[in-house]
Amino acid sequence: MYHRARSHPIHLAPVELHNHSVIIFVTVCTHERRKCLANPEAHRLLRSIWGESSFWLVGRYVLMPDHLHFFCAPGEKDYPMEKWMGYWKRRASLQWETRLTEPMFQRDFFDRQLRSSESYDAKWEYVRMNPVRAGLVERPEDWPYQGEMNLVSW
């Protein structure tokens, strides 16, 4: 049987698990992996846009030069993640002080619903160590382009 290669990741709807919060781990890359995110302007802009929206709540995050990772949880019921992702990426592109002639972000993103508090802790450790693995800082706490917008917990 012939299977056509998938050109975009699948985005499954979050599944509520017996008295556990829904926490989604997201990775977003810049268009053509342009190194434009690890700076004060991008950090301030993304925090501002994420803070204005209550559809999805951003928890911990790390901005790398050409991609970002964050954890989020639904804020308002039944608002599709894909729609929210498009919303904040469009807003960021339009409000970017340094106008770009190409899109700022790749069209799609990667997301994965976490299943237990252990996977949340393990994923956060992986994410916060990204700047160290990339040789940008010696200790993760020295990376200035990270933080926590909302408490997203089990």
More confident residue, 119 or 63: 63
**72 lies in some domain:** yes
pTM above 0.95, yes or no: no
**Domain total in the chain:** 1
**pLDDT of the residue at 18:** 53
Does residue 45 belong to any structural domain of this protein? yes
Supply the pLDDT for residue 79.
84
pLDDT band for 121, please (50, 70, 90 cuts).
confident
Average pLDDT over residues 29-58: 93
Of 146 and 121, the structure prediction assigns the larger pLDDT to 146
Three-state secondary structure readout of 52-120: HCCCEEEEEEEECCCEEEEEEEECCCCCCHHHHHHHHHHHHHHHCCCCCCCCCECCCCEEEECCCHHHH
The answer to whether residue 10 sits within a structural domain is: no
Question: Which CATH number do you get for residue 80?
Answer: 3.30.70.1290
How confident is the model over 68-85, as pLDDT tens digits? Answer: 999 999 987 778 889 999
Taking the C-alpha atoms of residue 70 and residue 58, their distance in angstroms, rounded to an integer, is: 7
Residue 14 located in a structural domain: no
153 occurs within a structural domain = no
